[in-house]
Amino acid sequence: MKVRVSKCHTKSAEELLIDAQSCGVDSRTSKRIEPLVSRDETNAGIYFVGAAGADLVKIGWVRRLDRIETRLNRLKIDCPYPVVLLFTVGPASREHEARVHKRFLAQHFHGEWFRYAGELAEFLIAAKKDAELAKSELRKSMDLTF
Confidence at residue 10, expressed as pLDDT on a 0 to 100 scale: 56
First CA to last CA distance, the chain: 47
Q: Distance (Å, rounded) from C-alpha 82 to C-alpha 95? A: 28
How far apart, in whole angstroms, are the C-alpha atoms of residue 91 and residue 141? Answer: 16
Tens of pLDDT along the chain (146 residues) come to 555 554 545 555 555 445 555 555 555 566 554 444 444 557 999 999 999 999 999 999 999 999 999 999 999 999 999 999 999 999 889 999 999 999 999 999 999 999 999 999 999 999 999 999 999 988 887 665 55
User: Is the overall model pTM greater than 0.75, yes or no?
Assistant: no
